[in-house]
Amino acid sequence: MKTATKKPAAKKVTKRGTAVPKNLVKKSPAAQKKAVKEDLSKTYNEFKEFEGQQYTGMKIGRSHKWNYDAGVWRETKITPDLWEISYAVTKRRAGHAPEGSGVPVGTEYHWYIMAHQNVRKLNANDYTTSLAGLKLKLAHKRADKEKWSLSGKTQRKHLIEFLQEMIAQLEKEPAPLDFTYNENHYLGEAIPIGQTCHDGLCEEYDIILNDASMGIIRRMKKGWKIDGVEDKKFVGAIGDAIVESSNK
């Protein structure tokens, strides 16, 4: 009776005649690049889980960066403080999506945006403008489908739940901020983004300093980050103030 033996790994013979195991042969740069793309595509499309909810696409914690064409923003005054707005533009990815990843062309999304818009007048006709906040996916429509993933009624229900969560967060006592940076004194508050809080620790906060909105600060693996704020030491000082306030 023959005994089964394990087949040895295939070997590649070098120019000098020395046999090298196939799994130790170094891939060419092109082959390595292809392998990375295939891995990115696979991880993008595979099912993931977040707090019991299954999802596909970009992994929680990763980011997109887009460049917007010259769009048209229109606004109509409804009350002394309330405006109706509309904005239409083509946005373009900064870089390229991994080959084979992402949804098919023609897929549509419905988002709800809650954000701070800060503007500063430069002259009679020009203003700087920045936007920082949250956007919530209410529904999507697949390229090969006629219907949206959720009915209008269900979308409205989810929006109500989201707004109720945001109101509850705003009604809670925020983390008070009181610190000095570069001889300037700052007073303010850090409002936790509840969806990023786990076991008493929050990853993101909406920051108000000296009555001005600073945007959302995000806890990174190393330090803190606020999109659009270039002074990393200042952002770090805000993060330190949050930690100090939370530990009191």
pLDDT in tens, 189-245: 999 999 999 888 899 999 999 999 999 999 998 999 999 999 999 999 999 999 999
DSSP E strand boundaries for the chain: 11-13, 19-21, 48-50, 53-55, 66-68, 72-77, 83-88, 91-93, 108-121, 127-141, 175-181, 184-192, 197-198, 201-202, 204-209, 212-219, 224-226
Q: Is the pLDDT of residue 17 over 60?
A: no
**Spatial distance between the Cα atoms of 41 and 101, rounded to a whole number of angstroms:** 5
Q: Check residue 60 and give its pLDDT.
A: 84
Q: Check residue 96 and give its pLDDT.
A: 86
**Spatial distance between the Cα atoms of 36 and 46, rounded to a whole number of angstroms:** 15
Place of tokens 């090298």: 20
**Lowest-confidence region among 4-13, 103-112, 145-154, 211-220:** 4-13
Mean pLDDT (the chain, rounded): 87
Structure tokens at 210: 């000296």
Mean pLDDT (whole number) for 13-31:
56
Mean pLDDT (whole number) for 88-100:
89
Q: Is the pLDDT of residue 150 over 90?
A: yes
DSSP label of 234: H
User: Domain map of the chain by residue range?
Assistant: 173-248
pLDDT in tens, 34-54: 555 556 556 766 888 887 888
**Which DSSP string do the residues of 27-64 spell out, in sequence order?**
PPHHHHHHHHHHHHHHHHHS-EEETTEEE-SSPTT---
Q: Check residue 42 and give its pLDDT.
A: 66
Instruction: List helix spans (H) across the chain.
Output: 29-45, 152-171, 232-246
Contacts within 8 Å (CB) and 24+ apart, 23-29: none
Q: Is the pTM of this model over 0.95?
A: no
Q: Check residue 167 and give its pLDDT.
A: 96
Q: Is the pLDDT of residue 14 over 60?
A: no
pLDDT in tens, 159-185: 999 999 999 999 999 999 999 999 999
Please, are residues 135 and 112 in contact by the beta-carbon 8 Å criterion? yes
Q: Check residue 27 and give its pLDDT.
A: 62
Q: Check residue 49 and give its pLDDT.
A: 85
Q: How many CB atoms lie within 10 A of CB 103?
A: 15
The rounded percent of the chain whose pLDDT value lies above 70 is: 83
Structure tokens at 16: 């000098």
Residues 6 or more apart whose CB falls under 8 angstroms from that of 13 comprise 19, 20
